[in-house]
Amino acid sequence: VADGRIRLCGTDEVDQGGMLRVEPPGMDPVLLCRTADGFHAVDDECTHAIASLSEGRLEGTTVFCPLHGGSFDICTGKARSLPCKQALRTWAVAVDGDGVWLLAKKKRA
Ligand code: FES
């Protein structure tokens, strides 16, 4: 990506309180969440086993895995409840015009 960012979706494609799984080219699937304070992106795949968090549910800033019910903080990526222990990677996103963009750098390791 020439300018180091990838368009994930339009701002109107995710409602507040909603989530969207996006598969950016060359990257693992990303879970884009929209909360009261804006958009957050983390890995979509649960770190416990193989499950798409997009099929779980979002409550505030906590996403619950559909498979075993573990949870993560979507702002920090940290596991919030067992059986999840390992954090999700978090990704920086920005709104520009009518789009939500992933800045192709990890916020933190
Ligand atoms: Fe997500 Fe087990 S796969 S909690």
pLDDT tens, 18-74? 999 999 988 899 999 999 999 999 999 999 999 999 999 999 999 999 999 999 999
Handedness of CA 70, 24, 106, 35 (dihedral sign): negative
Report how far residue 71's alpha carbon sits from residue 52's, in angstroms, rounded to the nearest whole number.
12
CB-ligand 1 contact for 66 (6 Å cutoff): no
Residue in the structure block whose two tokens are 């940290």: 78
Residue 108 lies in a domain: no
Residue 14 lies in a domain: yes
Residue whose CB lies within 8 A of the most ligand 1 atoms, among 42, 50, 63, 68, for a mutation test = 68
Whether residue 109 has pLDDT greater than 80: no
Domain with 97, as residue range(s), is: 5-101
Q: What is the CATH number of the domain that holds 79?
A: 2.102.10.10
Residue 107 lies in a domain: no
Residue 106 lies in a domain: no
| Lowest-confidence pick of 6-10, 49-53, 102-106 | 102-106
DSSP category for residue 52 = B
Residue whose CB lies within 8 A of the most ligand 1 atoms, among 31, 48, 86, for a mutation test = 48
The predicted pLDDT at position 19 comes to 98
Number of domains making up the chain: 1
